[in-house]
Amino acid sequence: MSTNESASSRFADRVGIVTGGTCGIGLAIAQALLEEGAKVVVSTLPADEAEGSAELESFGDRVLIVPGDLEKESYCEELVSRATNDFGRIDLLVNNAFSFVAKWMDATREDWHRSLHVGPMAYAKLASLCAEPMQQVGRGAIVNVTSISGVVAQPKRWTYNAAKGAVNQLTRCMALDFAPMNIRVNSVSPGWIWTRENDKAAGYDRDKFDPIWGDFCMMRRMGKTEEVAKAVLFLLSDDASFITAADLPVDGGYQGLGPEGLGQNTIVAGSQ
C-alpha cells in the first residue's frame, strides 16, 4: 500500500474545501481527507502556498491548491467555483483559516476588520456559497474550526477571542438554518496544539515546552495537528449523521480544569 492509499475510504467520491490547508491544522485535515479518498480544494495565502504544497501535490489531480485572501468575496466565490467546475460537486467544507490578530485596547479598526473578515465573516460567506451545491448533492457537512479562545477569557486578546466566540454562535445558527437542507454544521475547539506558531514560540524545542505548556490541560501535553484532523473527519463523516450544532473540544481537558489546575499544589481533604 502506498503512502497515499488508505485502508479507509469514508470520503471516496466526495469533494471538500479546506481553508488554510497548506500548514498546521488545515494541512493535517486536507491530508487526512485525501488519504480517505476525497478530492479537496485547498485555500492558502500566497505566502504560505509553498509550505505544504509538496505533501499535497503528491495526491495528484485529487487536490487543487488555490492561493488568495479570504477577506475578498471574489476569492471565496473562486474556491466554490473551482470545486464545482473541476470536481463537479461539493460535499464538505472545513472553515479553518483565521487571522491571528491578538490585540486589546491597542486594536485599530483595521485590526478588528481583519479579525472579523478573515474569520467569522469568511466562514459565513463560504458556508452560504456551498449550501446550493450541497443541496444538489442531497446532503452536506460543514465543520468550523474555532478555539478554546472562543469560550474562555485570555489577557489582552480581545480581537482574536471575540472573533472565535462569534464562530461558536455562528455554528449554532448555521446548523439551525441548514438542517432542512440536510446540511450538518459543527465545530471543533482545539486547545494548545503543536502548530508552526507554537513551534516558533518554543524555539523549536518541543521536548522542553511540551510538559510546560502541557500543564494547562489534563492530558499534560500539547496536542498534535493530526489529532484535531481526526475529530474533524469524524464530524464530517456519516458516523456523525445525527450530530449538528455541536462543538467538540480537542483540548486535552483544558476546558474542564478549575482554578486548582492539575492539583500539584492543592491540599485535598482527607489526603496526607
Across the chain, how many H-helices and E-strands are there?
9, 7
pLDDT of residue 267: 54
State the pLDDT confidence band at 52, using cuts at 50, 70 and 90: confident
The residues, any chain, with a CB within 8 Å of residue 248's CB and separated by 6 or more, are: 186, 187, 188, 189, 231, 234, 235
Residue identified by cell 464538505 is 92
Beta bridge partners of 18: 42, 94
pLDDT of residue 47: 82
pTM for the complete prediction?
0.93
Span 99-115, pLDDT tens digits: 999 999 999 999 999 99
pLDDT of residue 270: 52
CB 128 within 8 A of CB 82: no
Determine the average pLDDT of the residues in 245-250.
98
Residue identified by cell 499535497 is 56
State the pLDDT confidence band at 51, using cuts at 50, 70 and 90: confident
pLDDT of residue 49: 74
pLDDT of residue 272: 44
In percent, how much of the chain has pLDDT > 90? 85
Is 160 one of the catalytic residues? yes
| Catalytic-role residue among 123, 160, 204, 254 | 160
Residue identified by cell 481533604 is 269
Calpha distance 87→164 (Å, rounded)? 31
Helix pair 109-116, 158-178: axis angle to 10 deg: 30
Domain spans of the chain? Answer: 15-256
Span 175-206, pLDDT tens digits: 999 999 999 999 999 999 999 888 888 999 99
Cell of 125: 460567506
Predicted confidence (pLDDT) at residue 171 exceeds the cutoff of 80 = yes
pLDDT of residue 70: 97
pLDDT of residue 218: 96
Predicted confidence (pLDDT) at residue 259 exceeds the cutoff of 90 = no
Determine the average pLDDT of the residues in 42-46.
94
Beta bridge partners of 247: 187
Span 1-43, pLDDT tens digits: 334 444 479 999 999 999 999 999 999 999 999 999 999 999 9
Calpha distance 242→187 (Å, rounded)? 14
Residue identified by cell 511540551 is 210
CATH code at 15-256 = 3.40.50.720
Determine the average pLDDT of the residues in 250-258.
95
pLDDT of residue 132: 98
Q: Which residues of 25-41 are buried (b: 16+ CB within 10 A; e: fewer)?
A: bbbbbbbbbbbbbbbbb
pLDDT of residue 266: 61
SS3 (DSSP) at 186: strand
* pLDDT, mean over the chain: 93
pLDDT of residue 26: 97
